[in-house]
């Protein structure tokens, strides 16, 4: 019964992806592309992870200040192979959007992403990234905690 439910869920997700892709092809201007990227109900990182992974364990924290719910990361398995996944999370509803800061990462999120990428390198695991972000959070607290430095370390 579970396999049938998973197949239906996967088919539904693939149909949604196809709808987004075909809508994207119809975009006539840059602003149309921006509006497509802001559509509610788009498949997000956590939904893709639930569909793709046989097993997923989310890892938290940057080991310096805290955790950023806008940046999801962890280790998942596909066909017995361990893979590190990192991605932005916007939330599926208003409550999640507020919790995840509408997908705008704080310094903790960028440091967590770098920590997970280095861990994957150490253990020879592939890394899969899902990028769907409006950008870094531009608030005062984010600046005080070193958003510029955190982004720069990821670009190094």
Residue 137 is part of a domain; what is its CATH number?
Answer: 3.90.226.10
Same domain for 8 and 52? no
Same domain for 118 and 55? yes
- pLDDT, tens digit, 9 for 90 and up, residues 79-128: 889 999 999 998 888 898 899 998 899 999 999 999 999 999 999 999 99
Same domain for 92 and 25? no
Q: What pLDDT is attached to residue 147?
A: 95
Helical H runs in 64-106?
Answer: 94-99
Instruction: Provide φ and ψ at 128, rounded to 5°.
Output: -115, 125
Same domain for 34 and 48? no
CA distance 4 to 7: 5
């Amino acid at each position: 019964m579970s396999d049938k439910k998973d197949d239906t869920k996967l088919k539904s997700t693939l149909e949604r992806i196809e709808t987004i892709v075909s809508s994207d092809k119809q975009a006539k201007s840059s602003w149309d592309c921006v509006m497509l990227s802001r559509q509610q109900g788009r498949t997000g990182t956590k939904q893709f992870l639930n569909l793709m992974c046989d097993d997923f364990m989310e890892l938290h924290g940057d080991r310096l200040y805290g955790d950023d719910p806008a940046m999801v990361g962890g280790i998942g398995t596909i066909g017995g192979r361990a893979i590190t996944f990192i991605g932005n999370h916007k939330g599926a509803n208003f409550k999640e959007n507020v919790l995840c800061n509408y997908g705008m990462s704080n310094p903790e999120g960028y440091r967590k992403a770098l920590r997970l990428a280095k861990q994957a390198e150490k253990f020879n695991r592939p890394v899969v990234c899902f990028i769907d972000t409006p950008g870094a959070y531009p608030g005062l607290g984010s600046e005080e905690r070193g958003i510029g430095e955190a982004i720069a370390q990821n670009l190094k």
